[in-house]
Amino acid sequence: MHFVFDTDPATPAIPITFVTKTTCTEVLAALPPFARHFAQASGFVARPGQWLMLPGDDGAIDSVLFGLEDELAKRDLFRPGQLPDLLPPGTYRFANAPHDARLATLAFALGSYQFSRYRKAEARDVRLVPPEGVDIADITRMADAATLARDLINTPANDMGPAELESAARDLAQRYGAEFTCITGDELVAQNFPLIHAVGMASPRAPRLIDFTWGHASHPRVTLVGKGVVFDTGGLDLKPSSAMLIMKKDMGGAANVLALAMMVMDAKLPVRLRVLIPAVENAVAGNAFRPLDIFKSRKGSTVEIGNTDAEGRLVLADALAYADEDKPDILIDMGTLTGAARVALGPDLPPFYTNDETLAGDVGTFAAQENDPLWRLPLWAPYDTWLDSKVADINNAPSGGFAGSITCALFLQRFVEPTTRWLHVDIYGWTPSAKPARPEGGECQAARAIYRLLSQRYA
């Protein structure tokens, strides 16, 4: 059970009453006269996120009022995630139902996250008695997975290189009894992963392909591929310094794939899970891969390098081709891939791509259900010719600058067989400014929605 939950408090839990502007008059009228006058004198009008502690006769906290949105279209179902940051130490309970009790409980857990590896965090010791009817094991599973993803992303690249990412994946695999292997350094060339090797060869920290499997071989095959670029300088097509500031998050696809794998294994879903993570550092050195270099991919097609800063799709291409050889029932990849996706949809709404209409509908349904937003963009076939090269089979970065997220997805599609049920998600993996239940920094995106999809499809 997540540390923020307390099912057997030593003292009575303090009630939190959720209030909207519509219900405010009714809620205040039901309070004892002293508490009602205190709330009115304090100016409590149930603005979203507004809160007020009401004292009892002995001066201790008797209850808490917390404002929520009224309008359906404006509701933030994670608004209760603000509470762990606001409340003084103690154990609390929901006195009435928020808009969604399950998501409010999850938000409370997500909002309690603190990254304390390098600086001692101020102890909060704010606990919640879970509401009746909420599957607290499932909530804990999702909260713990989000903590894993956030911790990995928030860790700077000096402490989160390819070897450290391998270690984190190995620890997770061992925890659940998965079979773990890793191909490292020049062995990538020997075993036909030339694109992964090319991107990572300029770094003194050897590139690698992390690979683990879990579950019974007879179960449906679910394969997850995560982009693990631990730091992206842009390579010889060097990023400006401003664009490099949060490039420690460029392994966010790997972090979120590990979070998703953790949920699948912890829930003991009846699937044969495979996780592939190409872990590299895109560095600058005399042996760095160059613009207009040409490499033969694992798939056999030749790739011209249009831009060394479009490296994520290169490492995913080899990993996807390898994953596809196993003929999985579903193949899912995640990566922090394009600024174009952020321009189109912002940091909070990752686009996803698939040609499977049933899968697309399910992704949209569960993204909404889990408050883990995703938005479908098209694999627009007419743009596929933009990837043409005059000297190779394909160019990794077409000129022109249009539809960058779509052309990235089309590039990756070249490395997956048309018959494969494939889902590609172009995540950001970062919260630029804090929101309820989403502190600034590394973020778990798409993993909860896909976990729910898999649990419904295969449980």
Spatial contact of 367 and 449, defined as CB atoms under 8 Å apart: yes
Distance CA 75, CA 380 (A): 33
Distance CA 326, CA 348 (A): 33
Distance CA 10, CA 125 (A): 14
Q: Taking the chain, what is the end-to-end CA distance rounded to the nearest angstrom?
A: 22
Q: Which of 36, 75, 124, 239 is catalytic?
A: 239
- Does residue 239 have an active-site annotation? yes
**Positive or negative CA dihedral for 261, 262, 268, 269?**
negative
Q: Which of 227, 248, 298, 313 is catalytic?
A: 313
Distance CA 258, CA 264 (A): 10
- Which residues fall within 8 angstroms of residue 115, CB to CB, at 6 or more apart? 121, 150, 151, 154, 439, 441, 442
Distance CA 227, CA 312 (A): 6
**Positive or negative CA dihedral for 186, 189, 190, 193?**
positive
- Does residue 248 have an active-site annotation? no
- CB atoms near residue 300 (< 10 Å): 9
Tokens (6 digits) for 10? 């030593």
In DSSP terms, which residues pair with 63 in a beta bridge? 54
Point out the residues that are catalytic.
Answer: 239, 313
